[in-house]
Structure 1
């Protein structure tokens, strides 16, 4: 975000604008602000650790980074997802529904129209 060169330029401009009398006061305020923000971040982290318990250390925080969000990868993974195992008996079907497992229906087969054939049209659907 900020390179050392930019920070030096900003510090130089601050020295010129604030002057030698007000600069120590503002530097002290900046240090206090940084300590407060760091304390708030540590407090939030400790609170998360308390509320999540032992699971806090098991979370892969890199996977939750929004900068790694790639919609193309998510769509590709969803389209290439393996279909669920088909359910064969009534008992296994009710067990699959109770466990949240569902089967996907096969996509309808696309039949090309013959030359001169009109496509199907439903007056009530439009």
Structure 2
């Protein structure tokens, strides 16, 4: 509760009784209760308005997932690598293909491999790089 422990709350209550006096304290306590109720109803109304305008999926979203303190690059890379393994095609027919012969097994392995990367053209020693007008 706002970083106030029990003893501090008791001290604040005693100070309030001394400053306000016993005759005005009930009125101020009632005003405080009305203010808290009004604040709660305003918060509920804002939440309902947000739910109507944006939709249920935004209001019910788990915001802790988006906390930047949860960012751990090692975990993100590990999850990405594990997801990548799950995305690879399953070789359900690999066992019969290997039994049929080595050529059939290599055909299955070759089909599962990604396409080779594009080759990079290298400049010869002393050759100048091409100038691109649109790049500047």
Q: Normalising to structure 2: TM-score of the pair?
A: 0.47
Higher helix share: 2
Following TM superposition, by how much is the alpha carbon of 1:46 offset from its aligned partner in structure 2, in angstroms?
0.7
Counterparts of 1:52 and 1:36, CA distance in 2? 24
Cα distance in 2 for partners of 1:17, 1:6 equals: 16
CA deviations on 1:4-37 (whole Å, 9 max, x unpaired) are 2211111111011100111011111111111111
How far the C-alpha of 1:58 sits from its partner, in A, is 4.5
Question: Which residue in the other structure is 1:59 paired with?
Answer: 61
Aligned-partner Cα distance in 2 for 1:24–1:58? 39
Tell me what 1:69 maps to: 68
2:17–2:25 contact (8 Å) kept in structure 1: yes
Deviations 1:37-66 (A, max 9, x none): 1111111111111112231354112234xx
The TM-score, its normalising length taken from structure 1, stands at 0.50
Superposed CA offset, 1:55-86 (max 9, x none): 1354112234xxx533xx74x639x867xxx9
Greater RCO, 1 or 2 (C-alpha within 8 Å, sep 6+) = 1
Runs of 5+ consecutive residues of structure 1 not aligned to the other structure? 90-126
Tell me how large the CA RMSD over aligned residues is: 3.4
Unaligned runs of at least 5 residues, structure 2: 81-114, 119-136
Q: Which runs of 4+ in 1 moved over 4 A?
A: none
* Residue number in structure 1 paired with 2:109: none
